[in-house]
Amino acid sequence: MVNLLDFDAAAFTAFFADHCEKPFRARQVLRWLHHAGEHDFDRMTDIARGLREKLKAVAVIVPPKLVADRLAGDGTRKFLFDVGGGNAVEAVFIPEDDRGTLCISTQAGCALDCSFCSTGKQGFSRNLTVAEIVGQLWQTRHALGGYRDQSQSNERVISNVVLMGMGEPLANLANTLTALRLMLDDNAYGLSRRRVTVSTSGLVPAIDRLRDECPVALAVSLHAPNDRLRDQLVPINRKYPLATLLSACQRYLTKAPRDFVTFEYVMIDGVNDAPEHARELLTLTRRIPCKFNLIPFNPFPGSAYRRSSASRTRQFADLLIAGGVVTTIRKTRGDDIAAACGQLAGQVQDKTARRGRTIWPLALEGQGVVR
């Protein structure tokens, strides 16, 4: 049995060809799945009964199981998915006046162990499948009423997707690429490349592959202006130091749908938030068209860092702006339900040796509406 939610358009066509079916049939079923959100072959009314029976014998449509759904005071909604084997991952929907952004996960845990990140501290279990990645979109669109009310399709409930949830998308590159292709496919989610953002801690060879195979908007988690500090905060920097990373950003821009890279910078009190750090950043990034997004550090149980004060963050932003770089300070959303950046924890069966020094994951109980 195959799970059709694992297939992008090319895989669909190949699968249908293997079963002696024409490409337009593949397209029809793809549309039913993602455009209409259908999971019951018998409700695909314009598909001949014979083909429906054939599909039922060889294929299933199984999204990750939505087990909890919590609403924060500011309208942010956090969804918890059980992906089996004791692992659960999270997605967060952030409604704004002019758009609705869904933040999704790509791995159960993360192996990269950034010192300020709750997911990193939970260790790593496994990569998510395409069905589990794109299924977060499928399930939340159902939960938000996006399939019921097709009149909303122009003004989409989910207008933007960011791969900024649990895990490092570029460490799960093949599945991430397939999921991205589905997000962009007009027969699936039809999102524009500019409205889909991959956030990476800086896996350089994978940034190049993303550029060549499916360029979307790119956000890079910088967090430090020099290798000495970045080595401590983002350990993957020891493998791909700043000079290498910034060259990859420049190469990316030759094919990117936006003409800048977004640098994310978590503001940690007394660690990376001094005026001198801002000045160093301006020198470091002077050759790269970029924007900075400052993220106030979000604490999680057991974290040793503190958030920079609002005035220090403002001062840091003003220095970057004075240096000619567009800089925004990210609003902290959903922190009353631990849905803010870096707080996503889900539940991870750690396969690295990290568990011993880990904070226990959030229990599934008490997470709100359980379906």
Binding site for ligand SF4 (CB under 6 A): 110, 112-114, 117, 119-120, 167-168, 201, 221
In whole angstroms, the minimum distance from the beta carbon of 341 to ligand SAH comes to 4
Tell me: does residue 16 bind ligand SAH (CB under 6 A). Answer: no
Tell me: does residue 175 bind ligand SAH (CB under 6 A). Answer: no
Tell me: does residue 168 bind ligand SAH (CB under 6 A). Answer: yes
Would residue 338 be called left, alpha or beta, if left means φ above 0 and alpha means ψ between -120 and 50 degrees? left
Q: What is the token pair recorded at 358?
A: 């880990």
CA-to-CA separations, 16 to 2, 228, 242, 271, in angstroms, rounded: 12, 53, 45, 55
Tell me: does residue 348 bind ligand SAH (CB under 6 A). Answer: no
Choice among 90, 132, 168, 264 that is catalytic: 90
CB 133 within 8 A of CB 104: yes
Measured from each CB, the residue nearest to ligand SAH is 342
Tell me: does residue 266 bind ligand SAH (CB under 6 A). Answer: yes
Task: Give the up-direction half-sphere exposure of residue 10: CA atoms within 13 A in the CB hemisphere.
Answer: 4
Our CB check for ligand SF4 shows the closer of 55 and 110 to be 110
Distance CA 274, CA 243 (A): 22
What does 295 interact with, of ligand SAH, ligand SF4, none (CB < 5 to 8 A by kind)?
Answer: ligand SAH
| Residue 341: active-site member | yes
Q: Is the dihedral of CA 300, 306, 311, 315 positive or negative?
A: negative
Q: What is the token pair recorded at 355?
A: 């568990």
Task: Give the type of residue at 167.
Answer: G
| Residue 103: active-site member | no
Our CB check for ligand SAH shows the closer of 26 and 234 to be 234
CB 136 within 8 A of CB 81: yes
What does 266 interact with, of ligand SF4, ligand SAH, none (CB < 5 to 8 A by kind)?
Answer: ligand SAH
Bridge partners of 100, per DSSP, are 95
Binding mask 101-140 for ligand SAH (x = CB under 6 A): ---------------xxx----------------------
Instruction: Find the largest Cα–Cα distance for the chain.
Output: 69
Tell me: does residue 90 bind ligand SAH (CB under 6 A). Answer: no
What does 130 interact with, of ligand SF4, ligand SAH, none (CB < 5 to 8 A by kind)?
Answer: none
Q: Which stretch binds ligand SAH (CB under 6 A): 14-22, 34-42, 84-92, 194-202?
A: 194-202
Tell me: does residue 295 bind ligand SAH (CB under 6 A). Answer: yes
Distance CA 219, CA 259 (A): 12
Distance CA 196, CA 133 (A): 14
Long-range contacts of 149-153 (CB under 8 A, 24+ apart): none
Q: Which stretch binds ligand SAH (CB under 6 A): 24-32, 35-43, 70-78, 290-298?
A: 290-298
Please list the active-site residues.
90, 341
User: Can you give the binding site for ligand SAH, defined by CB under 6 A?
Assistant: 116-118, 164, 168, 199-201, 221, 264, 266, 295, 297-298, 341-342
